[in-house]
Amino acid sequence: MHDALSLLQQRHSAPSRQLGEPAPDAATLRALLEASIRVPDHGKLVPFRLIELRGDAKLRFGAQLAERAIRRDPNLADSKREKERNRYTYAPLVIVVIARLHDDAGIPEIEQKLCAGNVAYNLLLGTYALGFGAQWLTGWAAYDPEVAALLGLAKNECVIGFVHIGTPQTEIPDRDRPAVDDLLSQWQG
């Protein structure tokens, strides 16, 4: 039984700045995306969509985000400006996971966002299973209305995360994990 859980027991995020080429090729990415969208979906709403950022388009997106970060905070420290300028230069592929919310479906918004979040998590699991690395990032850009406009989001859409995907360029140590005994309780009624 433990062998069946080994992927979950070993999965960890790879910091985006430590990801480089190669990213999954087109066929592998297609298979990864097809697997990643197999998520619990109350009401079969498909409350998500994906945006691929790659190559020059990814770099242009990153440059526009850096410009937006500086407009948001003209006093941004030089080190943070540099971080913003370089954020999209490392991982060769970024998949933006978008929640597409349906107000009239009778399904709570949180359930729809969790469905989209499951897509992002499946991307993390799938990339790890394929031998790649990934990191799910949000940060200010996920909640900024100008970034939403830049991505062409509709009023009923929001960013769930930017999943940076590539090949780890160095060994990624695992972090300390919480103990199940510290998290699990039994309800006795």
Is 13 among the annotated ligand-binding positions? yes
Beta bridge partners of 48: 99
- How far apart, in whole angstroms, are the C-alpha atoms of residue 71 and residue 74? 6
Is 164 among the annotated ligand-binding positions? no
Burial class (CB in 10 A: 0-12, 13-18, 19+), 177: exposed
Is 2 among the annotated ligand-binding positions? no
Which of 105, 110, 101, 65 lies closest to 85, judged by CA?
Answer: 65
Is 136 among the annotated ligand-binding positions? yes
Is 42 among the annotated ligand-binding positions? yes
Q: How far is CA 67 from its chain centroid?
A: 22
Task: Could you list the beta-strand ranges (E) of the chain.
Answer: 19-20, 48-54, 93-100, 133-137, 157-168
Residue 81 three-state SS? helix
Annotated binding site for FMN: 11-13, 38, 42, 136-138
Annotated binding site: 11-13, 38, 42, 136-138
